Every structure is written in structure tokens, then in C-alpha cells.
């Protein structure tokens, strides 16, 4: 019994330190509220800051250090995201009078970079609230616990926590040391964020909106400061709306590609990037989906019916359709969720709507900020299928070991992939059935909601207003789905496994 209590105490002791660190992040929107919003909004962040300090302090003084094993590290990670979302919801409750369920949903959607929103009226919302939403996504992009590891060397069990939050697959590190690796990743992440902010501001986007969209593009989160998302710029006739969309596409792509590859690219090791199998799969899938959807758009809708071939109007129509389709394919595949056109819009045909569901499942690359099942796992499953077919006709003595990029794939990794795949299907079924039972949505819309939550994507075949009025039980299921998707399911399952706690 004492051993069990000590183990649980060790879990909450690390959690207390993370909660105390989290408190100081709230100073950013607090100061912003003081200058740009009313005193009520300012105090909502003050109360949130104090609540986080008090909660962290209580846990710190009533718990003690203990070495963690891997499962306990995963539990700390899962609990951390639950705690941070609880604290992160307080400004929404106190500042803009949102319900607890909607506020918690919004906070979880932010930290997991899902981007499903429970809020409307974003265009007139207090700026500090909008900044807080964007900041939650930026912190969640590479992982908020990873962020704490990068800024503090005093986090006990850092290696376990890093493994728990970033355990998506076995990948190389830029440098041997964990802390150095984390710092390099965050430096690259920050550099690209600043690049997108600069490019947006250069194209006549206000500094505030540039900052917010830069934060949420690199994190592949998709929160916007406008109800219309990125379509706002074309709707309001921004002269550079096309350039703005291409800049956002660049930001989403940078976020959806492994940051290890960014490291190699910035070091001039271009060959390593080009030869990376996951990167090739990612580009191949993106181009395939883009071609299929654009092809459907051109041939099914006959968009050039009254246009002279190769005229100026022809090229303008073609470019606009290329940009619209490319934007949405990148937004869904990288699980960012920005939109210039609603994916449920008749603009996208039956082929496109099915492809979007597949893209929601696949997601981005391992080591990126994107969600989804991950391109690397799709590539490995493809290799497994090829190997099984090979073994059916090859001699018994033929080699049947699975290799990927010259490295042997161990059975443990294969088992983890199949486990995650299976639990993905189960969770999608639970989410889809709960939505269908407790709403009047059809099969496609009901399934797409959990696809969106579990894949940390945002868009689905339900509108924002339809999402807001969903039954609270469905919202809770989606909250669990968002967390499970962000942490690759296994840490969340361990929360409900008694023996994993000690």
C-alpha cells in the first residue's frame, strides 16, 4: 500500500512542478488584456494565474519525488494535458461567460491543436482571449511538456516525459543530449513561426492577426481570429488574399513535415530530406489527393464551359481552383483545419469528401506538429502488406524480416502500430455512434466528427453552430478523442489501467 501511495505521490509531484511552470505562461495574455481589453478580461487571467499557482503549490507541498517508469511518465503526460486544459478553460468561463463544457472543450482543442471551436463571434471577441486561444495551439504544437523541458533543466524524469509525449515512433535526434534536442526543435519552430508572421504582415495583414495566424499555422492548429477562417481575406477583398493563402499553405506544410528534416535542410543536408521515405510518401499522398480532387472539380463541374481555352480568364479560373483545392488538401492532411472553403460545401464533390476523410486519418509526418495516424505508419503498414504477399509465393527460406530505411523494424514497433490502428477504429466507432444516437446527423457527419477530434484536425461535415449544440456527452467523447489523438492513444488508455499507476 505504501509503495502504491509513493508512486501516485511521485506522479503528482512532477505534475505540480509542471503546473507551476504553466502559471507563468498566463502572464502573456494577462498583460495583453491589461492594455487592450477591459478590466473584467484582465481579472479573468489574474484569477486563472492564481488558481494555477495555488493548485501547483498544494500538489508540490503534499507530494514527493520518485523515479518514474515509462507507464507512469505517460500518466503524468496525460494528466498534465487534462490539468492544463482545465486551467486554460478558466479565462473563457470568467472572461466571456462560456459554459464549463464548452470552455474545457475549447482549451483541449487548443492544446491538442485540434481546432474544433465552440465559439462564434470571433471577429469581435476580446483580443487577449483570441491570443490565448492561439497561444494554446502554439504551445501544444511541439508539446507543452516538451516546451517545459526546454526551458527548465530541473524537471524530474524529463526523459520519461519526453518519451511519453513524443513516443509516436522511433526517430533520430539532431543531437545526443535530450535538452539540446528539445532546444533545437523549439528554435526551428520559433524561427518558422516568425517567418510566417513576417510574410503575412508584409502582405497587409495586421500585426495582431499575423501573430495569431502564424502561431496557429506552424502548430497545425487552425484557430483563426475570424469566424470565416482564412476565407475572411478574400471575402473582405484583400488585394493580397491569394498571396496570404499561399503563405498559410507554406506555414501548414512546414508544420506538417518532420522537424528533424527541417534541421537537416537548414544544415544543408538536402539529400537526407529528399531520400527520406516518409517525406516522399507525404508529398506523394498530397499530390495524389490534390490531383484527384482538382480533376473531379474540373471534369464534373465543367468550370471552363463558357471560357475561351488558354485565355486570361481561363488561367485565372484555373489558378483560383488550384489554390482552393491545394489549400484544403494541405489543411486537412497536415490536420491544421484552416479553411478558404467549407469541406461540406457543394464546391467539393463526393470524391473530395471521401478523400478528406482518408486524409483526416493519415495526417502528417512523425516528428511534426500534425495529428492523424501518421504517414510513417502508413508507409510501414504498406511494407508489411508487401512482405506478407511476398511470403505467400517466396521459398520458405526467403528472408522475411521487415526493414524500413535500412533499419530493422522490431516486432514491438509493429505491435504498437497495430494497437494504435485498432484503437483508432474503436474510438471512431464510439464517437460516431454516440453522435448518431444523440443528434440528428447522418452517418457521414456523425463519423466525421470523431475523425476530426481523434485526428486533431478541426473541420468535419458539421458546421460550427451544429457542433456547439451537440449533446454534452458527445462533446466529452470528443474531448477524450482529442487527447487520445494528440498523445497517440496509449497514455490515455493507461489512465484507466490500475497497475500502471504503481
- Angle, nearest 10°, between helix axes 144-151 and 127-142? 80
User: Is 443 a domain residue?
Assistant: yes
Asked whether residue 108 carries a pLDDT value surpassing 80, the answer given is: yes
pLDDT at 172: 57
Residue 176: predicted pLDDT: 56
For 363-373, the pLDDT digits (tens) are 999 989 998 99
Does the pLDDT at position 168 exceed 60?
no
d(C-alpha 346, C-alpha 343), whole Å: 8
pLDDT band at residue 160, thresholds of 50, 70 and 90? Answer: low
418 Cβ contact partners less than 8 Å away, ≥ 6 residues apart? none
Largest CA distance in the chain: 82
- 476 and 101 Cβ atoms separated by less than 8 Å: yes
Asked if 458 and 448 count as a contact pair (C-beta separation under 8 A), the reply is no
20 alpha-carbon distance from chain centroid: 24
Give me the half-sphere count of Cα atoms (radius 13 Å) on the Cβ side of residue 126. 24
pLDDT at 165 > cutoff 70: no
CA–CA distance, 359 with 256 (Å, rounded to integer): 13
Per the structure, the complete domain to which residue 469 belongs is given by 412-501
Mean confidence (pLDDT) of the chain = 88
For residue range 129-139, list pLDDT tens digits in order: 999 999 999 99
- Report, as an integer, the average pLDDT of 120-142: 95
Q: CA of 397: how far to CAs of 249, 388, 393, 401, in Å? A: 49, 14, 11, 12
Q: Of 140-154, 271-285, 342-356, which range is least confident?
A: 140-154
3-state secondary structure of 408: strand
* Interatomic CA distance for residues 271 and 141, integer angstroms: 27
Burial 286-296 (b: 16+ CB within 10 A, else e): beebbebbbeb
CA-atom Rg of the chain in angstroms: 23
Identify the pLDDT of residue 427: 93
Which has the closest alpha carbon to 245: 328, 313, 188?
328
Q: Give the pLDDT of residue 483.
A: 93
pLDDT at 171 over 60: no
Identify whether 429 is part of a domain: yes
Q: Is residue 451 part of a domain?
A: yes
Q: Please check whether residue 428 lies inside any domain of the structure.
A: yes
Of residues 394 and 48, more confidently modeled: 48
Calculate the dihedral angle through the C-alpha atoms of 128, 468, 102, 370, rounding to the nearest 10 degrees: -70
- CA-based nearest residue to 258, from 150, 376, 151: 376
Residue with the bigger pLDDT between 460 and 387: it is: 460
H or E stretch at 407? strand 407-408
Band (273; pLDDT cuts 50, 70, 90): very high
Cell numbers representing residue 380 in the block: 510501414
Q: What is the pLDDT of residue 5?
A: 66
Mean per-residue pLDDT, 34-47: 94
Beta pairing class for 407-408 and 403-404: antiparallel
Whole-number pLDDT of residue 183: 86
pLDDT at 246: 98
Lowest mean pLDDT among 177-181, 200-204, 342-346, 353-357: 177-181
**3-class state of residue 278 by DSSP:** helix
**Contact (Cβ atoms closer than 8 angstroms) between residue 375 and residue 351:** no
> What residues pair up with 408 in beta bridges, in sequence order?
403
- Split into its structural domains, the chain has a count of 1
* Integer Cα distance of 144 and 251 in angstroms: 20
Q: What is the pLDDT of residues 394-439, one digit of tens each?
A: 666 656 677 777 778 888 888 888 888 999 999 999 999 999 999 9
| CB neighbour list of residue 296: distance below 8 Å, 6 or more residues apart | 349, 351, 352
Cell 468561463: give the residue: 93
Mean pLDDT of 214-237: 95
Q: Is 298 or 387 the better-scoring residue by pLDDT? A: 298
Q: Is residue 29 part of a domain?
A: no
Taken as a whole, the chain contains a residue count of: 502
Cα(137)–Cα(19) distance, integer angstroms: 17
Least Cα distance to 370 among 53, 112, 54, 9 occurs for 112
Quickly state the pLDDT bin for 459 (edges 50, 70, 90): confident
Among 165, 8, 137, smallest CA distance to 72 is for 8
**pLDDT tens column, 204-222:** 999 999 999 999 999 999 9
Amino acid at each position: 500500500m505504501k509503495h502504491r501511495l509513493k508512486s501516485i505521490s511521485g506522479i503528482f509531484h512532477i505534475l505540480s512542478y509542471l503546473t507551476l511552470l504553466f502559471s507563468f505562461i498566463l502572464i502573456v495574455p494577462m498583460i495583453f488584456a491589461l492594455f487592450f481589453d477591459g478590466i473584467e478580461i484582465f481579472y479573468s487571467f489574474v484569477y486563472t494565474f492564481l488558481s494555477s499557482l495555488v493548485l501547483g503549490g498544494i500538489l508540490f507541498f503534499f507530494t514527493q519525488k520518485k523515479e518514474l517508469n515509462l507507464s507512469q511518465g505517460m500518466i503524468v503526460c496525460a494528466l498534465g494535458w487534462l490539468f492544463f486544459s482545465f486551467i486554460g478553460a478558466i479565462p473563457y468561463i470568467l472572461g466571456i461567460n462560456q459554459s464549463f463544457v464548452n470552455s474545457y472543450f475549447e482549451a483541449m482543442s487548443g492544446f491538442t491543436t485540434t481546432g474544433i471551436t465552440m465559439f462564434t463571434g470571433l471577429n469581435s471577441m476580446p483580443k487577449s482571449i483570441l491570443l490565448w486561444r492561439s497561444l494554446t495551439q502554439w504551445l501544444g504544437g511541439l508539446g507543452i511538456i516538451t516546451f517545459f523541458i526546454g526551458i527548465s533543466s530541473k524537471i524530474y524524469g524529463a526523459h520519461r516525459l519526453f518519451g511519453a509525449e513524443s513516443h509516436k515512433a522511433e526517430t533520430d535526434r539532431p543531437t545526443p543530449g535530450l535538452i539540446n534536442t528539445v532546444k533545437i526543435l523549439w528554435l526551428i519552430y520559433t524561427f518558422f513561426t516568425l517567418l510566417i508572421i513576417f510574410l503575412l504582415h508584409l502582405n497587409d495583414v495586421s500585426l495582431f492577426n499575423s501573430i495569431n495566424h502564424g502561431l496557429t499555422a506552424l502548430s497545425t492548429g487552425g484557430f483563426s481570429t475570424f469566424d470565416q477562417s482564412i476565407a475572411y481575406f478574400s471575402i473582405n477583398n484583400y488585394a493580397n488574399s491569394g498571396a496570404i493563402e499561399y503563405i498559410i499553405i507554406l506555414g501548414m506544410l512546414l508544420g506538417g513535415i518532420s522537424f528533424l528534416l527541417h534541421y537537416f535542410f537548414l544544415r544543408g543536408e538536402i539529400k537526407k530530406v529528399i531520400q527520406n521515405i516518409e517525406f516522399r510518401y507525404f508529398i506523394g499522398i498530397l499530390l495524389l489527393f490534390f490531383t484527384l480532387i482538382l480533376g473531379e472539380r474540373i471534369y464534373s463541374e465543367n468550370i471552363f464551359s463558357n471560357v475561351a481555352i488558354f485565355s486570361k480568364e481561363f488561367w485565372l479560373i484555373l489558378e483560383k481552383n488550384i489554390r482552393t483545392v491545394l489549400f484544403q488538401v494541405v489543411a486537412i492532411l497536415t490536420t491544421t483545419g484552416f479553411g478558404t472553403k467549407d469541406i461540406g460545401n457543394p464546391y467539393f464533390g463526393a470524391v473530395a469528401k471521401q478523400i478528406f476523410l482518408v486524409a483526416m486519418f493519415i495526417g502528417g509526418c512523425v516528428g511534426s506538429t500534425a495529428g492523424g495516424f501518421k504517414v510513417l505508419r502508413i508507409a510501414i503498414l504498406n511494407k508489411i502488406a508487401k512482405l506478407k504477399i511476398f511470403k505467400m509465393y517466396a521459398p520458405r527460406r526467403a528472408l522475411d524480416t521487415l526493414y524500413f530505411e535500412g533499419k530493422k523494424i522490431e516486432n514491438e514497433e509493429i505491435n504498437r502500430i497495430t494497437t494504435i490502428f485498432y484503437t483508432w477504429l474503436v474510438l471512431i466507432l464510439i464517437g460516431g455512434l454516440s453522435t448518431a444516437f444523440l443528434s440528428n446527423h447522418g452517418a457521414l457527419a456523425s463519423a466525421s466528427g470523431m475523425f476530426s477530434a481523434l485526428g486533431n484536425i478541426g473541420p468535419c461535415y458539421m458546421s460550427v453552430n451544429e457542433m456547439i449544440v451537440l449533446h454534452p456527452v458527445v462533446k466529452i467523447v470528443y474531448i477524450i478523442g482529442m487527447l487520445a489523438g494528440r498523445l497517440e492513444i496509449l497514455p490515455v488508455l493507461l489512465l484507466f489501467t490500475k497497475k500502471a499507476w504503481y
